[in-house]
């Protein structure tokens, strides 16, 4: 079963989507690996099966999983998932940068933050 913690303000289906997507991106869920049935996930997490189905539908729409009628859902091939995550990350980044700009954050402030993040990454990810 999934090792996913559901907490926070985001809708549960988005948290589940993000958790499964992260498991796929990290390689903990492999290409063509069968995902647990919707009802099984719902029961183990104590959530509505419709919530799980919505998360699975979004994962399929994003190309992260595929489903086979009467057989279940499976993880898509890995090369495709990396590009999906990259595109999603760029979309989120763009939206956040627009939001920051609307609050008066300057280009130089953004670049300083970017340099700090990349510097932290080169130094072992410590903040």
Residues 70 and 47 in one domain: yes
Residues 71 and 87 in one domain: no
Beta bridge partners of 70: none
Distance CA 57, CA 37 (A): 13
Any domain includes 2: no
Distance CA 117, CA 127 (A): 8
Question: Which residue among 76, 92, 111 closes a domain?
Answer: 76
DSSP for residue 34: B
Look at the alpha carbons of 23, 26, 29, 31 in this order and tell me if their dihedral is positive or negative.
Answer: positive
Residues 115 and 95 in one domain: yes
Percent pLDDT > 70 in the chain is: 88
Whether this prediction's pTM lies above 0.75 is answered by: no
Predicted local confidence at residue 127, as pLDDT = 42
* Enclosing domain of residue 47: 12-76
Any domain includes 65: yes
3-state helix, strand, coil in the chain (%, to 5): 60, 5, 30
pLDDT in tens, 77-106: 865 666 777 787 888 899 999 999 999 999
Closest Cα to residue 13, out of 59, 65, 61, 78? 59
Per the model's pLDDT, the better-predicted residue between 58 and 22 turns out to be 58
């Amino acid at each position: 079963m999934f090792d996913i913690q559901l907490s926070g303000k985001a809708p549960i289906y988005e948290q589940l989507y993000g958790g499964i997507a992260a498991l796929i991106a990290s390689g903990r869920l492999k290409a063509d690996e069968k995902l647990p049935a919707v009802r099984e996930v719902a029961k183990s997490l104590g959530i509505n099966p419709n919530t799980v189905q919505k998360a699975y539908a979004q994962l399929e729409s994003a190309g992260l999983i595929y489903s086979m009628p009467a057989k279940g859902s499976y993880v898509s091939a890995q090369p495709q998932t990396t590009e999906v995550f990259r595109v999603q990350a760029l979309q989120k980044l763009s939206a956040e940068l627009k939001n920051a700009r609307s609050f008066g954050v300057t280009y130089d402030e953004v670049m300083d933050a970017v340099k700090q993040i990349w510097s932290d990454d080169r130094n072992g990810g410590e903040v």
